[in-house]
Structure formats: structure tokens, C-alpha cells
Amino acid sequence: MKQNFTVRQGALDGVEAFLSVAEHRSFRKAAAELGVTPSAVSQAVRALEGRIGAALFIRTTRSVGLTEAGIRFISRAKPAFEELVGASEAVRELGQRPAGLLRLSVPRAVVPTLLEPLIPSFSRAYPEIELEIAASAELVDLAAEGFDAGIRMGQFIAADMVAVRLSPPFPFVVVGSRDYLRQGKRPERIDDLRHHACLRMRRSNGSIAPWPFIDGNKTVEAIVSGPLIAHDYPTLLGAAIQGSGLAQLPGPLAKEPIADGRLEVLLAPFAVTIPGVFLYYPDRRQVSPKLRAFIEHVKYRSAAAPHDATTARKSRKLNRATSS
């Protein structure tokens, strides 16, 4: 039969008073140490003895001594109580200053563009914080998986999360290498993609993401095909640079290879604008000092616009066709 090891309500009441009396062999000295009256200490000890069912002290007008039950009780209660006090102090430190392990769940694409420039300065500013970055396309349950916060594009963040903007809105661009474009006609219209090798993204839910576009006032989702399916944007970027086909990518990720000529932007008039990238976490009231330090550091270092809660909420409703 399974035993119930649940601690009863009030089971620890009076233990601190008992330990103080046992140490000083005096109710009056224990009361002075605890900042209460001798009567309050006496009542707490008597209540403890009543719950235990045995006398813990031998009391006379001149002295206070431990009974056999008191000796046995203190041998186990004292180290256990000291452990509880030590545990409380350790947790209190984490609640009062930026320290400990800070775990972030992020997509691989934001690591080089957003996080790598921030990590060195953050580590110097907060040497007592260990930063752990779990780069994955999976949309994880932050609380269940033990993460302090996550980073995702705004439209994929649940409405009950607190969101902090990390980047301004940006275009979702179609790109191709010069080597690939030499092989055939450049796409001029969205429908032209049917004749091109398109590198695709598999979403975390298992589906393959269509390519979203804006055609006039309409949002269009193009179903494309091609030789490669990847689970993250950096893989698609590398394949596009190598000439494997066209890719649709977040503008900031493709900025450098576009600037140096390794990639060219295509179908620019039809590009959708993505709301941007946000850091998100479950509850404003539960922000630890280590997470608050990271948020403030990112705000200070980032060139993005300040956090706009309305924009964050609106962004979740837009561009559902894009991949996380």
C-alpha cells in the first residue's frame, strides 16, 4: 500500500522556536533571538509537543533541559531545518540579483543575426549569469521544458505571452544565386515559380510551408516544389547560395549575401512584410532578475524600435503562412 508522505499543514510550526530554546537552554534568550515574547515561544513549543505527542523539554524554575524525545528530535530536526534555511537563502539570492542559468529557446536563424552580437557584451555585463541557447525550429512549451524565455517571429507567439520587440518589421524575400539564375529565365510573376526549383521549409507541425506573397491587396500563398526540404532557414540560405534553387527567407538573414552579390532579390514587388522578431515569456510578474537583465540589455543594444504591445498582438494575426 502506498504511503502518504505529504507534510501536514503546520507541521513545521514551532520547530525554529524549539531549536532556539534548545541552543540557549532558555525561553527568554530564545525569545530575544527571535524577536518575540517568551510567552509566544512557550506557546509555540507546547503546540509542537502536542502535535508530536511527547515532551521535548524538562522545565524547572532555574533551567531548561532536553528530554530523551527532545534529544532524538533535535538530532534530526536541526540539520533538516538548516538545510531548509540554506535552500531559502540560495533561492533568495537568485530572486535578488542577476545570477544563475538563463535558458532561451530560439530558432537557428536569429542566432547569427540577433544573438551573436549581444552575447559577448551581455556576458561581460553579467558574469554570474550562464546563458544557454537551445536553437531549434520547434515551438516548445517554455514552462514544461524549463526555459526562461523564447524568441520567435511575432505571429507565432501565443496571445497570453508577454512579448518584447527585438527587431523592426522586415520583408520576406525570394532570393537566388547568379549561377542558378543563369540556367533559365528569371521569375517576373508569382506564377513563374512553377518553372523553378524552390527550396522549401518544413514547419514544426510537419507541414511544408507555402510561400506567402502580396499581390495588390490580396495575400497569396504559392505552393512550390523543388529539390530540397529543410527544417530551418540557415540551411535554405546555404543551399540558395550554392545554386540549388530559389529560397524565400527573412530579409535580415539574407542581407549580407545580397549585399556582397552572392544572392539576388527576386519578385520584390510581391514581398510580404513580417511583423518582426520578439522575445517572449509567460508572466510579467514572474520575471527573474536574470531574465530582466537580458531584456534590458537587448533593449539597450538593439537598434530595433522600442517594444510596442499593440504591434506584438497584431503581429500574431498576420502572415500565418510563414514558417516558425
Residue linked to cell 502536542: 50
**Looking at residues 87-106, what average pLDDT do you find?**
78
Predicted local distance difference test score (pLDDT) of residue 93: 60
pLDDT reading at 9 higher than 60: no
Measure Cα distances from 175 to 172, 209, 274 in Å: 10, 17, 16
Question: Does the domain made of 15-94 have the CATH classification 3.60.15.10?
Answer: no
Predicted local distance difference test score (pLDDT) of residue 56: 92
The β-bridge relationship of strands 162-165 and 277-281 is antiparallel
Residue 228's contacts (CB-CB under 8 Å, 6 or more residues apart) are 199, 200, 236, 239, 244, 245
**What is d(CA 66, CA 19) in angstroms, rounded to the nearest whole number?**
11
The β-bridge relationship of strands 198-201 and 246-250 is parallel
**What is d(CA 86, CA 78) in angstroms, rounded to the nearest whole number?**
12
Predicted local distance difference test score (pLDDT) of residue 320: 37
More confident residue, 313 or 295: 295
pLDDT reading at 125 higher than 70: yes
Helices first, then strands: H and E counts in the chain = 12, 15
First-to-last alpha carbon distance for the chain, in angstroms, is 48
More confident residue, 189 or 298: 189
**What is d(CA 49, CA 47) in angstroms, rounded to the nearest whole number?**
5
The kind and range of the H/E element at 240 are helix 233-241
Do 100-168+275-315 and 170-274 share a fold?
Answer: yes
Topology (CATH level 3) of domain 170-274: D-Maltodextrin-Binding Protein; domain 2 (3.40.190)
Mean pLDDT of the chain: 84
100-168+275-315: which CATH number, 3.40.50.300, 3.30.450.40, 3.40.50.720, 3.40.190.10? 3.40.190.10
Predicted local distance difference test score (pLDDT) of residue 91: 66
Express each pLDDT in 256-278 by its tens digit. Answer: 999 999 999 999 999 999 888 99
pLDDT reading at 193 higher than 90: yes
Domain spans of the chain, in order of start: 15-94, 100-168+275-315, 170-274
